[in-house]
Amino acid sequence: MTPTTRKKLLTDKALVLLVLFCGSFTSVVHGEYVTTQFRELQQIDTANRTVNVSMQTCNSAQTNHAASVVISATANMSGQALCKMMNDGNVSSAKLQWLNMQIRQILQLALSLSVELNPELNISVAAAFLSVDDLTETAIHDLSFVEYWVYVKFLPVLPYVNEEILAQLSQMKFPCQAFQVIVKVLSREAALISDQQKELIFTHLIYSYLSRTDITDPGCLSNILTSNEWLRINFGIFSKHATLAQLQTLNNQFTELDYLDLLSPSEVAEFTVTSGALNSVNMIGIIFDRLQTGNAFQNTDEFFWTLIRSKVLNISPVVRDIMMNGTFQIIRLYFAEFTSYDWISWFTLKLSPVLSSLTAEMLQTVTSYTDCNAYHIMYVTLSIC
Helix, strand or coil, per DSSP, at residue 312: coil
Residue pair 157/124 in contact (Cβ under 8 Å)? The answer is: no
What would the DSSP string read from start to end of 104-149? HHHHHHHHHHHHHH-TT----HHHHH--GGGS-TTGGG-HHHHHHH
Residue pair 115/70 in contact (Cβ under 8 Å)? The answer is: no
CA angle 311-313-319, nearest 5°? 160
**Residue 296 — left, alpha, or beta (φ > 0 → left; ψ -120 to 50 → alpha)?**
alpha
Query: How much is the pLDDT for 58?
Result: 60
Indicate the DSSP class of residue 157. Answer: G
Alpha helices in the chain (DSSP H): 3-30, 36-48, 60-88, 93-117, 125-129, 143-149, 163-170, 176-188, 195-201, 207-210, 227-235, 244-250, 265-274, 281-291, 296-307, 317-331, 340-344, 360-367, 372-384
Query: What distance in Å separates the CA atoms of residue 274 and residue 314, rounded to the nearest whole number?
Result: 11
Query: How much is the pLDDT for 33?
Result: 37
Distance (Å) of CA 277 to CA 130, 135, 266, 335 = 49, 48, 15, 28
- Residue-wise pLDDT tens for the chain (385 aa)? 555 555 444 444 444 444 444 444 444 444 443 344 445 445 545 555 444 554 455 666 666 677 778 888 888 888 888 888 988 888 899 999 999 999 999 888 888 777 677 667 667 777 778 877 888 889 999 999 999 999 999 999 999 899 999 999 999 999 999 999 999 999 999 999 999 999 999 999 999 999 999 999 999 999 888 998 999 999 999 998 998 889 999 999 998 888 898 899 999 999 999 889 999 999 999 999 999 999 999 999 999 999 999 878 899 999 999 999 999 999 999 999 998 889 889 988 999 999 999 999 998 898 888 777 766 766 665 654 5
Residue from 110, 101, 103 nearest 68 by CA? 110
Chain-centroid distance of CA 131 in Å reads 23
Indicate the DSSP class of residue 351. Answer: T
Tally Cβ neighbours within 10 Å of residue 187: 17
Q: Which amino acid does the sequence have at 42? A: Q
Query: How much is the pLDDT for 305?
Result: 96
What would the DSSP string read from start to end of 179-236? HHHHHHHHHHTGGGS-HHHHHHHIIIIIHHHHT-SSSSSTTS-TT--SHHHHHHHHHG
Query: How much is the pLDDT for 69?
Result: 82
Query: How much is the pLDDT for 59?
Result: 65
Query: How much is the pLDDT for 29?
Result: 47
Q: Which amino acid does the sequence have at 149? A: W
Tally Cβ neighbours within 10 Å of residue 37: 10
